[in-house]
A and B are shown apart, each in its own frame.
Chain A
């Protein structure tokens, strides 16, 4: 199990600071109108607040009395499953329009059920195909959502 405590705060504070800075720098060059806020006014305010909060989080974690080097308990199997799921999301998005909803969704369902620990593979395959087919027909026929199809 991931245990993000002091180390996690240090990391997330740094990321927040960096993100705030990047977005703040991206507002450079936006012109300020004579009256009104302009495009940059509000984003600058928000990003500056984000930078300040990021610094507070980093300082708080550095000044905390807890041991910084305490290890983050990570369940390797879970991390592997999570990475697998994220990769499957990327593949799903890539193939969604190319080979259509039915095949990609059935595959994603099958893989996700495996990742969740459902080990009855035949049942898993049947459930994946039936579920994606039912969803496909309900949404394309009843709700007229033009879900991508495999081009023949």
Chain B
């Protein structure tokens, strides 16, 4: 074990890898800070650069982008009241009033410290929990993997937002897309509707580039909003000892809630930050300060936000089942660079796993340093015009999809899914379920087929094995809770209207 860690640290501290991580951290802060450019899009935009890197280096770069973009989201939330990422939405509640009081510098500093501690704590959780779960996952056979895929698909219910039916449809479209092309089981073509080119199927990456990045560009085209006035005065950057002391409890609350929620598949940062914020407010002695510009409010949101990152990586690494939409994109990126998350990764690709673990902690320290510099530069970063930025994002999307197989077909897929994704979003269909369907579709189908082959078409095998039964029960409970939640929400809406 210690040898693995030493090897991991040796890889991380190679000068080239450090440089790549530094660039990724700085880019992540910029990406997170730009409203409308999400962490998922940031990771997607980095993919073409990873194709020709060693897997370890590529993974370190993606880690830098993933963690730092979470903090970056707080910058625009504080300065513009426009969260750069969905999980930074709660940060704006106290961050923006602080900026208006001339304390933007202090607010971003509190966000940075919260993010740093959250990232470190969730990293510790990931390092201990992921290998444990992976060992447990070694006991899994096809029935268990099928049940796990079903459980993963029930996440669709929780990431569907307000409309469960539309979430289900998006998930089913993802599943359907994963089935088009050559059937892995029999080797025959299916669902191609007589169009030969569809025999290539839809690769995960161009579809993701389309639905997350290209559709965002089209969305920006619609929302060409007027430029928001950025708070010109940052005020003081450094926190006083008293202020630092006041952040301890909020950060602890954020770390605990963020890590716990992050481990649960399908929850994500946005839910966790609002939950942590509400809990802190509920137990705080100074409730009235919240919403008016409380540093504690900013710190708890950002600690939670980054605590979710490590937690969400636990099921991703141990089972190959993503924790939320951003880790779904990370999972796709892992597969693309030749790393297959799952229990065997911890034994067969130990050097990559431990360099990722070691890199995770180094990235947090880099984020702390680069983050402080970015506070000074932040107002200038936010002045980058959409008219110039979005077309460049579009070209990077094209390169990213072309580089996958040097094929124009993939570019076409990305652009088509960009338009489709945009229309789906406009019609209220959430995008994360589509990605989950696309990832979990092949896993569910192949393992169900293997299960039926082993059991000679006896479906009851799924309920006779304890792990698969437990997972199916968990899936049932998860769906039931989501349905109850959706019913209550619709009832509330009816009462309100």
Chain A positions within 8 Å of B, measured between CB atoms, are 1-2, 4, 8-9, 11-12, 16, 22-23, 26-27, 30, 33, 35-43, 46-47, 49-50, 53-54, 56-57, 60, 75, 78, 81-82, 85-86, 89, 92-93, 96-97, 105, 108-109, 112-113, 115-118, 127-128, 131-132, 135, 139, 142-147
Provide a sorted-by-A list of 10 A–B residue pairs whose CB atoms are within 8 angstroms.
Answer: A4-B428, A35-B452, A35-B453, A35-B456, A36-B457, A37-B185, A50-B169, A89-B415, A116-B386, A145-B51
Closest CB of chain B to A27's CB: distance in Å? 7
Residues of the B chain whose Cβ atoms lie less than 8 Å from the Cβ of A86 = 419
Closest CB of chain B to A2's CB: distance in Å? 5
Q: Are A117 and B224 in contact (CB under 8 A)?
A: yes
Tell whether A146 pairs with B172 under 8 Å between CB atoms, given A27-B190, A36-B185: no
When C-beta atoms are compared, the residue in chain B nearest to A34 turns out to be B457
Complex CA–CA separation, A120 to B191 (angstroms) = 47
Chain B 168-185: CB-based contact to A (< 8 A → 1; otherwise 0): 110011011001000101
Cβ of B385 < 8 Å from any Cβ of A?
yes
Complex CA–CA separation, A30 to B427 (angstroms) = 34
Q: Are B172 and A143 in contact (CB under 8 A)?
A: no
Closest CB of chain A to B91's CB: distance in Å? 27
Partner of A39 from the list B169, B185, B395 (CB cut-off 8 Å) is B185
Complex CA–CA separation, A127 to B389 (angstroms) = 11
Closest CB of chain B to A134's CB: distance in Å? 10
Q: Are B191 and A26 in contact (CB under 8 A)?
A: yes
Closest CB of chain A to B43's CB: distance in Å? 17
Cβ of B49 < 8 Å from any Cβ of A?
yes
Given contact pairs A37-B449, A118-B388, enumerate 8 new A-B contacts (beta carbons under 8 Å): A35-B457, A36-B453, A37-B445, A50-B173, A53-B172, A86-B419, A89-B419, A147-B399
Residues of the A chain whose Cβ atoms lie less than 8 Å from the Cβ of B452 = 35-37
Tell whether A12 pairs with B457 under 8 Å between CB atoms, given A53-B168, A93-B411: no
When C-beta atoms are compared, the residue in chain B nearest to A37 turns out to be B449
Chain B 370-402: CB-based contact to A (< 8 A → 1; otherwise 0): 000000000000000111101110111011001
Closest CB of chain A to B415's CB: distance in Å? 4
Complex CA–CA separation, A85 to B193 (angstroms) = 27
Considering only residues 45-71 of chain B, those with a C-beta below 8 Å from chain A are 48-49, 51-52
Tell whether A143 pairs with B51 under 8 Å between CB atoms, given A50-B176, A60-B165: yes
Partner of B190 from the list A40, A49, A96 (CB cut-off 8 Å) is A40
Cβ of B166 < 8 Å from any Cβ of A?
yes
When C-beta atoms are compared, the residue in chain B nearest to A110 turns out to be B391
Partner of B390 from the list A16, A41, A57, A112 (CB cut-off 8 Å) is A112
Q: Are B48 and A139 in contact (CB under 8 A)?
A: yes
When C-beta atoms are compared, the residue in chain B nearest to A131 turns out to be B392
Tell whether A115 pairs with B221 under 8 Å between CB atoms, given A56-B165, A93-B411, A143-B48: yes
Complex CA–CA separation, A74 to B418 (angstroms) = 20
Partner of B169 from the list A37, A47, A53 (CB cut-off 8 Å) is A53
Q: Are B387 and A145 in contact (CB under 8 A)?
A: no
- By CB atoms of chain B within 10 A, which of A1, A42, A113, A132 has the most? A42
Query: Sorted from nearest, which 10 A-B pairs have the closest CB atoms?
Result: A112-B391, A118-B387, A116-B387, A37-B449, A42-B445, A39-B183, A89-B415, A4-B427, A50-B172, A143-B52
Closest CB of chain A to B221's CB: distance in Å? 6
Chain B positions within 8 Å of A, measured between CB atoms, are 48-49, 51-52, 165-166, 168-169, 172-173, 175-176, 179, 183, 185-186, 188, 190-193, 218, 220-222, 224, 385-388, 390-392, 394-396, 398-399, 402-403, 406, 408, 411-412, 415, 419, 426-429, 441, 444-445, 448-449, 452-453, 456-457
Complex CA–CA separation, A42 to B427 (angstroms) = 27
Partner of A113 from the list B48, B173, B391 (CB cut-off 8 Å) is B391
Residues of the A chain whose Cβ atoms lie less than 8 Å from the Cβ of B183 = 39
When C-beta atoms are compared, the residue in chain B nearest to A136 turns out to be B399
Residues of the B chain whose Cβ atoms lie less than 8 Å from the Cβ of A116 = 220-221, 224, 386-387, 390-391
Residues of the B chain whose Cβ atoms lie less than 8 Å from the Cβ of A30 = 188, 190
Q: Are A82 and B402 in contact (CB under 8 A)?
A: no
Tell whether A1 pairs with B222 under 8 Å between CB atoms, given A135-B395, A145-B403: yes
Complex CA–CA separation, A131 to B399 (angstroms) = 13
Closest CB of chain A to B354's CB: distance in Å? 27
Q: Are A82 and B221 in contact (CB under 8 A)?
A: yes
Closest CB of chain A to B192's CB: distance in Å? 8
Residues of the A chain whose Cβ atoms lie less than 8 Å from the Cβ of B445 = 37, 42
Closest CB of chain A to B28's CB: distance in Å? 19
Q: Are B218 and A82 in contact (CB under 8 A)?
A: yes
Partner of A42 from the list B179, B391, B415, B453 (CB cut-off 8 Å) is B179
Complex CA–CA separation, A30 to B185 (angstroms) = 13
Closest CB of chain A to B193's CB: distance in Å? 6
Complex CA–CA separation, A109 to B395 (angstroms) = 7
Tell whether A16 pairs with B169 under 8 Å between CB atoms, given A43-B190, A118-B385, A139-B399: yes
Complex CA–CA separation, A128 to B457 (angstroms) = 59
Q: Are A93 and B176 in contact (CB under 8 A)?
A: no
Residues of the A chain whose Cβ atoms lie less than 8 Å from the Cβ of B387 = 113, 116-118
Partner of B427 from the list A12, A35, A109, A117 (CB cut-off 8 Å) is A12
Q: Are A146 and B406 in contact (CB under 8 A)?
A: yes
Closest CB of chain A to B407's CB: distance in Å? 10
Partner of B395 from the list A2, A9, A105, A145 (CB cut-off 8 Å) is A105
Q: Are A38 and B222 in contact (CB under 8 A)?
A: no
Residues of the B chain whose Cβ atoms lie less than 8 Å from the Cβ of A142 = 52
Q: Are A46 and B168 in contact (CB under 8 A)?
A: no
Tell whether A145 pairs with B399 under 8 Å between CB atoms, given A27-B190, A96-B411: yes
Q: Are A147 and B185 in contact (CB under 8 A)?
A: no
